Chain A
Amino acid sequence: MDQIRHKVAIVGAAETDDLGQLPHMSRLALHAQSAKNALDDAGMSLADVDGLLCAGAIPNEVAEYLGIQPRYIDGTSVGGCSFMIHVRHAVAAIMAGYCDVALVTHGESGRSGVDAPRGGSASSPGGQYEAPFAIGGAPTTFSIPVLRHFHEYGTTKEHLAHIAAATRAWANLNPMAMMGSHRRAPERGGGPITPQDVLNSRMICYPFNLLDCCVVADGGGALVLVSEERAKDYAKDPVYVLGAGEAAAHWMVSQMRDHTTADGYRIAGEAAYKSAGLGPQDIDHCMFYDAFTFTPLMAAEDLGFVPKGEGGPFFAETKTGPDGEVIYKSGPGGDFPMNTNGGGLSYCHTGMYGMFAIIESVRQLRGECGDRQVPNVNVSMAHGPGGMFASAGTLILSNA
């Protein structure tokens, strides 16, 4: 089952020029600017693109807007992990000869709401069986599984708070991160935070305080993929796809089979490991989608980095640095480097964050990350859910 290993590479990866509050840009303009930046990163032109994959937009909308007529399209739009799934589909499409240059785009006016349609049908299952109970978006639904995990395994809010503090420490090293020291003053909540700060922040939806929740932003990102044979013809070092997986487990969070295990994570993860011929012990760097602090904890467990139920104590482990500073398990200097861009929690979260996780994996593998560069990253995993642990996409990427 190693047919896809090392056959296709990511040769371009970039975000929009800025992330955060961009009321002057519409959803489709964010797609287009991301495409421009990723193609520039690869040293390619829009005219080279013959495959288009996107989420949060119909491929025809984006194709028409860009002025291209691709011969391969994929509009899989299942939430934040759509882009991991697009990469997996692009690998297959390029191997099958359906396209030569695949462009994956994301653009979302998640904060300003410029052409950001919201709300589903009152007759859909969600409209009938969840919406009437005053659910209000992700903070009230992504939180649903958490107390069951607490109940069964003794996980605590203090455990989760360490993930927020560790992720903020990475954000402080990333000039693009919305809540990092470079972009946001301490009096406006930017810069370093402690687990106690997380517990002291405003309650949004128990068990999530404000600092357990991701930021809400406008932005976009894009990727360019080509076959392994052509991968060295472009501007940057290629990042190869070694393994990939995807799954659809449920849609409504109330119908999740087991609220302490994301079935989709397991299915996608197993496929990714099998196609790459690798296991968790081979992964140097993890990008685990963090809409909330609990989300990456579930990934660490269900992808085999820590036994089920032990994610809380795992992430809450700290050590003391040479200058007396606290080093978090998943933070800078820790032995489980995760979400090194500052994550959805502190870097950027448009609504479908998965694109940004992949971009950071590419940059770490290229060694482009400056102050936040993790030493010796040769294999990176980018993984995320779509919806509330509903779908999943997993990529194992390498620079060799």
Chain B
Amino acid sequence: MADYAGRLPVATPESQPYWDGLKEHKLMLPTCDDCGPHFYPRPFCPMPKCFNWDIKWMEASGKGKVHTFVISHQPIPPYNTEDNAPPYVIAVIELEEGVRMMSNLIIDDPYSTTVDMDVEIVYDDVTDEVTLPKFKPV
């Protein structure tokens, strides 16, 4: 795991709870009492008429749907080895909570992916420090 070749995120103070949650295999979303959760983490509610800075964190169900996707045939790390070769799926997942996030879909045949397919989260511990939220078909 030490020689993970993909690009790694570096948290900011505002996003640290999100990445800490993933490390504990929890998908945490920032949420506003009036407007509900948002993605990606910001220390305020990004609804222009709200802009409330009293943000709480909630644990998401980890269930969602493929909103849209592509099938990359490019050997982009970490999909650049014999064991982990392209094609692979990059998807925008719409979570049950109504927010959307980019991820990868872990699926045997990328071309069996469909828009609106039901998926659930898979916690991919790519290094000792970083866990990425990925998804698989239900």
Contact = CB atoms under 8 A, between A and B. Distances in A.
Is chain B found bound to chain A in the same assembly? yes
Interface of A: 121-123, 125, 127-136, 139-140, 143-148, 150-151, 203-208, 252-255, 259
A204 B74 CA distance: 7
Most B C-beta atoms less than 10 A away, residue of A128, A208, A253: A128
A254 B71 contact: no
Contact of B70 (A122, A132, A144): A144
A156 B90 CA distance: 20
Nearest to A206: B71
A149 B136 CA distance: 23
B74 A132 contact: no
Contact of B73 (A144, A151, A203, A252): A203
A123 B8 contact: no
Nearest to B111: A206
B9 interface: yes
A148 B115 contact: yes
Contacts of B115: 147-148, 150-151
Nearest to B88: A134
Contacts of B77: 134
A144 B68 contact: yes
Interface in B69-116: 69-74, 76-79, 87-88, 90, 92, 100-104, 110-111, 115-116
Nearest to B69: A147
B73 A206 contact: yes
Contacts of B88: 134
A254 B40 CA distance: 10
A259 B87 contact: no
Nearest to A207: B70
A80 B129 CA distance: 37
17 contacts: A122-B8, A127-B7, A128-B12, A129-B40, A132-B6, A132-B130, A133-B104, A145-B68, A147-B69, A147-B70, A148-B68, A151-B116, A204-B74, A205-B72, A206-B110, A253-B92, A259-B92
* Top 8 closest pairs, chain A to chain B, by CB: A148-B68, A254-B102, A206-B71, A136-B76, A128-B9, A151-B115, A122-B10, A143-B70
Contacts of B70: 140, 143-144, 146-147, 205-208
B76 A134 contact: yes
Interface of B: 6-12, 15, 19, 39-40, 67-74, 76-79, 87-88, 90, 92, 100-104, 110-111, 115-116, 126, 130, 132
Nearest to A142: B70
Nearest to B124: A132
Contacts of A140: 70, 72, 74, 76, 90
Contacts of A255: 40, 100
B109 to A, nearest CB: 12
Contacts of A203: 73, 87
A205 B74 contact: yes
A130 B10 CA distance: 12
A133 to B, nearest CB: 5
A205 to B, nearest CB: 5
Given A128-B11, A145-B68, 4 more contacts: A132-B132, A144-B69, A206-B71, A259-B92
Most B C-beta atoms less than 10 A away, residue of A123, A127, A131, A132: A132
Contacts of B100: 254-255
Contacts of B40: 125, 128-129, 255
A151 to B, nearest CB: 4
Given A133-B102, A134-B88, A127 B73 contact: no
A93 to B, nearest CB: 29
B132 A123 contact: no
Contacts of A121: 10
Given A122-B8, A129-B9, A136 B73 contact: no
Contacts of A122: 7-10
Contacts of A125: 40
B74 A129 contact: no
Contact of A147 (B68, B104, B132): B68
Contacts of A136: 72, 74, 76
